[in-house]
Amino acid sequence: MTKYGSFPGTRPRRLRTTPVMRRMVAETRLHPADFILPAFVREGVSEPVPIAAMPGVVQHTRDSLKKAALEAVEAGISGIMLFGVPEDAKKDAVGTPGTDPDGILQLALRDVRAEVGDELLVMSDLCLDETTDHGHCGVLDAEGRVDNDATLERYAEMAQVQADAGAHVVGPSGMMDGQIGVVRDALDQIGREDVAILAYTAKYSSAFYGPFREAVASSLKGDRKTYQQDPANVRESLRELALDLEEGADMVMVKPAGPYLDVLARVADAVDVPVAAYQISGEYSMIEAAAEKGWIDRDKAILETLTGIRRAGAQNILTYWATEVALKLRQGPAAAQ
């Protein structure tokens, strides 16, 4: 055989010959501890409500949420990120349910923390979009624009009530300028220096949020382009990253995950704090829909996307498949393939 460079002596295919060989040389591995489960809890329902756009995901009752948290513990995942869905009649212009100690999110935090203690990181979404009658992530000014600084005052209150309700971690997700510093100060003022902040550092204005609107019964009219990031930009994310770290973020996140793997890789290379990525509703729904049509292998597609997110630099992944995948990983390589 004619020699071409190092071939035929060098044959990379030797390291792909069997499943055991491929597993041994794998550069990226998934582990149950990588995962965080996003979960929705809805006020005023007596049984879980299926989310039509997200097959297999529900709006939980308080009781079913506690069961889901216990299942997450048994699967070995690291955390559960809670989103509260109040009754429409309770929503108002300033998102009062978000700071009401008896608001649905605060009640759910207490429920889950009482159920799992410290066996699971209990995390809370810190944003006003689920609780405002206009659906935006902040307070509006007289001209209908999101008022950054007025919103920060609400975020400070939210941080304190969520910490009091038992959150180990708060996740400011509204993309307001200065939000991390304000939340950190608010927590420290009530002696909750132990509560960590997972900063939604690079949260893009994405078309892939569509199914999430149903999940949280969003009242949004219009869009969030004046505060969420432009999908065209990368340097902007690095600027946001520097600001979040300066203000006291303990962990940082890129959202969505799949369409922004390049951003995720840049962020992961730039920091020495844990990096998370959120595999959002649209990413989930596309795979479930294509699998339902028989167009793709569902389980393999799920693992491939999660591996890609991990390979790009995410230490932790928020995914609606968290518990399912973690259980398969614990069953061994064959179950996870």
Q: Dig out the tokens for 11 from the structure.
A: 């044959």
β partners of residue 169:
123, 196
Q: Which of 133, 201, 220, 126 is nearest to 168 (CA)?
A: 126
Per the annotation, the verdict on 293 as an active-site residue is no
Single out the catalytic residue among 255, 293, 300, 328: 255
Per the annotation, the verdict on 203 as an active-site residue is yes
Residues with Cβ within 8 Å of residue 51, at least 6 apart in sequence: 40, 57, 58, 59, 211, 214, 215
Q: Which of 119, 130, 117, 200 is nearest to 158 (CA)?
A: 130
Single out the catalytic residue among 66, 203, 221, 328: 203
Phi and psi torsions of 292, nearest 5°? -60, -30
DSSP state of 123: E
Residues with Cβ within 8 Å of residue 140, at least 6 apart in sequence: 93, 134, 146, 147
Q: Which of 127, 124, 28, 130 is nearest to 81 (CA)?
A: 124
Which CA distances in Å does 32 have to 113, 142, 203, 312? 20, 47, 25, 18
Q: Which amino acid is at 123?
A: M
Which CA distances in Å does 76 have to 43, 121, 199, 279? 28, 11, 23, 19
Residues with Cβ within 8 Å of residue 53, at least 6 apart in sequence: 210, 211, 214, 215, 281, 285
Q: How far apart are CA 96 and CA 91, in angstroms?
A: 7
Q: Give catalytic residues, as residue numbers.
A: 203, 255
